[in-house]
Amino acid sequence: MMKPSSEPWDQLLHHDGVHGSVYVDPRVYESELQHIWRKTWVYVGHESEVPRRHDFVMKSLGPEPVIMTRDGDGQVRLLLNRCSHRGNQVCTKQRGNAAVFTCPYHAWSFGSDGRLKHMSLPDGFPDFDRSTLGLAQVTRVASYRGFVFGSFAPEGPSLAEHLGGALEVFDRLVALSPEGEIEVTAGFLQHKVAANWKLMLENETDGYHPSFVHSSIFGVADSGIGKLYSRNSAALSRDYGNGHTECDLRPQFRKLDVPLGWFGTTEERLPDYARAMRKVYGNERARQIMIDGTPHVMIFPNLFIAEIQIFVLQPVAVDETVQHVTALQFKGAPDLNRRMRQQTMGSVGPAGLLLADDSEIYERTHQGLRASGPQFTFIGRGVHRERTDDAGFRIGDITDDLPSRGIWRHYRSLMEQSS
Amino acid sequence: MSEAAGDLLREVEAFIYREGYLQDRHQYDAWEALWTDDGVYWIPANDDDGDPEKEMSIIYDNRSRIALRIRQFHTGRRIAQEPKSNLARVISNIEIMSLTGDDIHVRANAMIFESAARRDTIWGTRYEYTLRRIDGALRMARKKVILVNNSKALPNMAFLI
């Protein structure tokens, strides 16, 4: 096994290309578990998935299953699904409400806060400190706008520092709700691909592929999406730093200047929503929010906010990834939400009119990268026209490889850190 | 079983076998023609009986989205089905559950072997149909496909199931 600290990253990552082994070598994957998935902030779930005390839902933090609970005090916790006694899984249900998890093996029980509550036949145990025998928990848990992240590193950047410039993306997202909140209540599809997780990480903000991979559906669906990703689009690609990247479609939507045009609809067709938005925000601000639409942002390493849905990327092996995907639901917007679900169901998942094609490409690319040459991919598109926006973030044309370059810059900084 | 009931069951069986054949052989237009104008094609996720108006399904197509799905195949650029999956299905356990007005409620099981470019997959499913007689011929008004593993992570399933 390669020693992570001695990996020759300058030989694997060029400024405009990535060595194929970075995607397909199991040793790189093992090293990523240590340097990324067990260290940095990783998205786990949304607070609205556990609205009441003692609600729980099975989630994952990278490859590791976790139980997201809301404990008796209302605090969201991330518990590892392993009995502290002999290691049996304490929870086998996908979701529910439970003040106590009882391990079926020897009947030890744990509270929704993870603490050991009860050991069966207690008189047989020597005298010792039972408070050390709770369920293990993700070391740090933090949330922003209801999005719950976990990190196994006891120290390091705060969640706000990790999100950095992309923090504002969450504000922009929830602004589409007349009540300023999103909800994750529609249930997830789980879509498995035989491909490395980083192919998805990069593709989510690759504005170059839609015109080709999705031409079959753009051509027959009377969709405006194709134009957004064309050569003449005013939309931009952006690198927020820390691996977070964006397809900023607002410049193009502002050119069109139609409220709800981003969603292929109009205020007349979603009258209740438009009325609620104008009442809360006032005409001018509501109009601007409804023109700009929702963000298209990949939060490193695993949360893709995809305008009307979110994807959570879960690496399972070097060549296996599960895409968990659900429609976003905006509080106080039932007519918008119905359309969100309908459009999402048509687009994503194993039979999705968009995502089945992306997923096919992920798998073929993974196989392609196993060929011995050329050694490097080429991600130099737009290198000559990189520029910075008013906030100082790197931006490029929508079809440029700028997001990939930003992802790899951050990836390298994580992989080179001694752990 | 009365003679009339036996005749209806045989007609229903013939319809379902034919539908399965058209799916196996990617005869998209002939398959689309089996639908009524208000047809609904539903493949639930995360168990069998979620509310498709509230929760995510793998497919929840109304008639116009069924047509869109077929038009996408016809472009020849539906990458997930180019090359097309090679399919063979065995359909069995066909039972007429009830008759209401013009509607015939039917259930069946199927095992479908899919050979795709990188993997061979066995799909096990229970079917629930609502068939309706229109101008003397049976049509599908509703087809619900209950994959037995619909709570798990699934690979691409871009063919007609």
Any residues with CB less than 8 A from the CB of A17 and at least 6 apart, and which? A376, A377, A378, A379, A380
Residues A19-37 have pLDDT tens digits of 999 999 999 999 999 999 9
pLDDT, position A7: 61
Residue to test with chain A: of B68, B79, B82, most A Cβ within 10 A:
B79
> Using an 8 Å Cβ cutoff, are A166 and A297 in contact?
yes
CATH classification code of B3-147? 3.10.450.50
Q: Whole-number mean pLDDT of chain A?
A: 96
A43-147: CATH number? 2.102.10.10
**pTM exceeds 0.90:** yes
**Hey, are the CB atoms on B61 and A357 less than 8 Å from each other?**
no
What's the mean pLDDT in A278-283? 98
Tell me how close the Cα of B68 comes to any Cα of chain A, in angstroms: 7
CA gap A71, A59 in Å, rounded: 16
Nearest to A221 among B53, B68, B155 (CB): B68
Chain A hits for B120, CB-CB cut-off 8 Å, are none
What does the domain layout of chain A look like in residue ranges?
43-147, 166-416
Q: Please tell me the predicted confidence (pLDDT) of residue B61.
A: 98
Which 3 state secondary structure label does DSSP give A297?
strand
**B54 neighbourhood in chain A, CB within 8 Å:** 185-186, 341
Query: Which B residues in the span 117-136 are in contact with A, Cβ-Cβ below 8 Å?
Result: 117-119
pLDDT range class, residue A340, cuts 50, 70, 90:
very high
Of A188, A221, A357, the CB nearest to B56: A188
For residue range A151-207, what is the model confidence (pLDDT) as tens digits? 999 999 999 999 999 999 999 999 999 999 999 999 999 999 999 999 999 999 999
Closest Cα in chain A, distance from residue B44 (Å): 10
Q: How far apart are CA B97 and CA B118, in angstroms?
A: 39
Which residues of chain A are within 8 Å of residue B76 when distances are taken between CB atoms?
Answer: 216
Please report the pLDDT score of residue A5 as a whole number.
46
CATH fold of A166-416 reads Naphthalene 1,2-dioxygenase Alpha Subunit; Chain A, domain 1 (3.90.380)
Residues sharing a CB contact under 8 Å with residue A30, sequence separation 6 or more, in sequence order: A1
A141 close to A76: Cβ distance less than 8 angstroms:
yes
Contacts of residue A8, Cβ cutoff 8 Å, sequence gap at least 6: none
Identify the residue among A58, A360, A365, A367 best suited for mutation to test binding to B, counting B beta carbons within 10 A and taking the highest: A360
Whether A187 contacts chain B with CB within 8 A: yes
Residue position matching structure tokens 């392993």: A82
Please check whether residue A329 touches B, CB under 8 A: no
Strands (E), A357-409: 387-388, 394-397
Q: What sign does the dihedral B48-B51-B53-B55 (CA atoms) show?
A: negative
CB-based contact (8 Å) between B140 and chain A? no
pLDDT bracket for residue A1 (50, 70, 90): very low
